[in-house]
Amino acid sequence: MRCPFCGNDDTQVKDSRPTEDNAAIRRRRSCNGCGARFTTFERVQLRELTVAKKSGKKVPFEREKLERSINLALRKRNVEEGRIELLINGIVRQLESMGDSEIQSELIGKLIMEGLENMDPVAYVRYASVYKDFREAKDFEAFVGKLSDIDDD
């Protein structure tokens, strides 16, 4: 593992332990070159995933993109970091455990929508506005109206 401070490849693991949700291994490392200490997180990857976009383009799956989109929807919302991490880990596990290594981007969006719907209604609407490509205020009204109808049942 390369040192983030000096770029030296000669680093040493000082401590390893699983994260609280057992989705990763936390390693404390020390650089033999500059003496800096830093932490890395290593995750088990069941298979290489490829995302098939609507345009037909295929790109490698990036967990970081998934995290960014969920965190953007939840920005300034009072949701515990642990719950967000569980949502992200759950979506990644679902994708990795599917039979195919090629995943449609619509499926990823659907899984995010389902998770946010159960977690935070404002984040759900925020994400839906991008995922469903709302263009006008009436698009929001129609979507939120459907939510209200469901809540009234």
Q: Which stretches of the chain are DSSP H helices? A: 63-73, 81-97, 105-119, 121-131, 137-152
Give the amino acid at 46: L
What percentage of the chain reaches a pLDDT higher than 70? Answer: 94
**How many domains in the chain?**
2
Same domain, 144 and 90: yes
User: Which domain covers residue 98, as residue numbers?
Assistant: 50-152
6 falls within a domain:
no
Residues 36 and 66 in one domain: no
Average pLDDT over residues 73-99: 91
- The verdict on 15 and 59 lying in the same domain is no
Is residue 48 over pLDDT 80?
Answer: yes
In-domain check, residue 68: yes
- Same domain, residue pair 20 and 60: no
Indicate whether 105 and 36 sit together in one domain.
no
Does pTM surpass 0.75? no
Check whether residue 63 and residue 19 sit in a common domain: no
Confidence of residue 140 (pLDDT cuts 50, 70, 90): confident
